[in-house]
Chain A
Amino acid sequence: MCTVCGCGEADQHHHAHAHDSGHEHTHDHGHDHGHHHHHHGQGAAGLSIDGLSQERIVRIEQDILGRNDAHARGNRQFFESHGILAVNLLSSPGSGKTTLLERSIADLKERFDVSVIEGDQQTENDAERIRATGVPVLQINTGKGCHLDAHMIGHGVQDLKPADYGILFIENVGNLVCPAMFDLGEAARVVILSVTEGEDKPLKYPDMFHRADMVLINKIDLLPYLRFDLERCIGYLQQVNPEVETIRVSATTGDGMDQWYGWLERRRKALLAERLAGLERQAAAIRAQI
């Protein structure tokens, strides 16, 4: 059984379990799970057989993403207490995300312990590219899934064991829709938008861009060959997310990459400073007791 959530699955997140299985993936429900829905097993008609049928309204008031968010909180707590800066990298397919990541790792790995979780529907291709940089990497294949969720990351971190005080890049599945909803427990969401895409991407995929902390506008070396209105693109971005930060980069030529590294470094420092302040408060509280 896994210690992340007690789900009994090593690396799967879909709980498409049979109803009579003993598999329990929540911690709070009773042990009579699986009894109720066999008595009336007459299919969709749901006819009452034993006269027990009483229609009633049951109040629930539960967020549907509540379980994901609970896992995300657990992950965030883990990252914070280990001083790990977790960065969720999001983009459409073909934005140059993996190339940007390769270059970032090459430039950062001497200074920080970098590790990577790679999310893709299929193949180990990206993980192979990242592995070639020499840093620890874990591939999560989502199969039919279109996004990573916090539960997968919880397991991924268990397997990967990222170094304390390092940077963990989580390369999400290339998709501007689905991953937007799933908090992974990251410290920052970074969306990569390349200038070979339309400048109105922020308006077309507002959920994704609204939730971004940073947008890297990639492939700017190609601007002379394209009709991409950079100012208009940034205007659209600010329309959906007035507080978003942007950096113009080219992972190929290296333009703007130092600014990106500077931003990461500041985020990492802020995370560590907060961790230190928490520990100092705790130390003071203990000191006061002795």
Chain B
Amino acid sequence: MHELSLCQGIIDILETEASKQHFARVRKVRLLVGPLAGVDRATLSFGFDAVSRDTIAEGAELEFIDTPGLAWCFTCDRTVEIAHYYDPCPACGGHRLKVTGGEEFRILDLEVE
């Protein structure tokens, strides 16, 4: 359940931004989450409900924005799409891959009032 500390991390960022950007409540948090980020979305949402209680984000919705898992295939000499670290290159079936995208776990923006 490292998702709980990730939720605490989200709340910390929201509270810091609340005083910088002057808002009192957060309605929605849009998160960019790659398939290789190691984050379980359902667990994160569940944890967020608990951690956000009595904060400016109480009741806020988490919206997940997808971003593809990408890797450079040294055999094919090009970027390919993967969903897991153990996936082979969809073109050549090999594993000489270097992950280049899909590990993102970032807050994009907030709906606030």
Contact = CB atoms under 8 A, between A and B. Distances in A.
A134 to B, nearest CB: 34
Contacts of B31: 64
B16 interface: yes
A272 interface: no
Contact of B55 (A37, A63, A66, A238): A37
B2 A58 contact: no
Interface string A23-35: 0011011101111
A60 B25 contact: no
B19 A33 contact: yes
A240 B23 contact: no
A46 interface: yes
A149 B5 contact: yes
B96 A242 contact: yes
Interface in B2-21: 2, 4-6, 8-10, 12-13, 15-21
A130 B67 CA distance: 44
B113 A48 contact: yes
Interface of A: 14-16, 19, 25-26, 28-30, 32-37, 39-40, 43-46, 48, 52-68, 144-147, 149, 177-182, 202-203, 206-207, 209-210, 236, 238-242
Interface of B: 1-2, 4-6, 8-10, 12-13, 15-25, 27, 31, 36, 38-39, 54-56, 58-59, 84-86, 88, 95-99, 104-113
